[in-house]
Amino acid sequence: MQGAFHWLRVQVFCYATEREDLIRSMITDLAGDGVEEESSEGEHGNRLTVFGKEMTRQAEFRSLFEKLGPGVRGEASRDMEARVDEDCVFRLRLDRQRLAEGALEIAHHGDVLSITGKIVAHPARKGIAVSNLRGFLETF
């Protein structure tokens, strides 16, 4: 079977007022070891930490989507057309507050852990990417 993605990136921001250990734990629980950390400065000069992991192996993709569970996978599949752009890039945003409580829920606001990935599609067309991703999600 052809791979589902060329790459996936999981990313979350941690603001100065938040516990870095909790945020790091949230992303590590989903993405596994190897999460990178980058410090930056926020709009008002406050500290901002970005935690992220780029995945390139099919086993990592499967592990991540397995952890997302049937509810998130199902919702993502139902509105797949809106989640895949013309460049064959998939976007999914999980609610950070619910994630901190141990629940996985798709977010419709800005406080998120984001998952972005380039879908394998030859030729690179949105319709082909959507079909390939739908096929990948149906394997769970």
CATH of 5-137, one of 3.65.10.10, 3.40.109.10, 3.10.20.70, 3.30.1440.10: 3.30.1440.10
Percent of the chain with pLDDT over 70: 99
Question: CA–CA distance from 111 to each of 2, 11, 60, 106 (Å)?
Answer: 34, 12, 24, 11
| % of the chain surpassing 90 pLDDT | 88
Retrieve residue 58's tokens.
């099919």
Using CA atoms, how far apart are residues 76 and 70, in angstroms rounded to an integer?
A: 10
Cα dist from 22 to 26, 45, 65, 130, whole Å = 6, 22, 21, 34
Domain residue extents for the chain: 5-137
Taking only the tens place, the pLDDT of each residue in 92-114 is 999 999 999 999 999 998 899 99
Contacts of 19 (CB under 8 A, 6+ apart): none
Q: What is the pLDDT of residue 45?
A: 84
- What pLDDT does residue 8 have? 97
Unique residue bearing structure tokens 């797949």: 80
Residue 70, preceding bond cis, omega within 30 degrees?
no
What's the whole-number mean pLDDT along residues 37-49? 88
Residue 48 pLDDT exceeds 60: yes
Looking at the predicted structure, is the pLDDT value of residue 1 above 50? no
Given this model, what pLDDT does residue 125 score?
96
5 contacts 118 by C-beta, under 8 angstroms = yes
Positive or negative torsion for Cα 114, 57, 26, 36: negative
pLDDT over 90 (residue 42): no
Q: What is the mean pLDDT of the chain?
A: 94
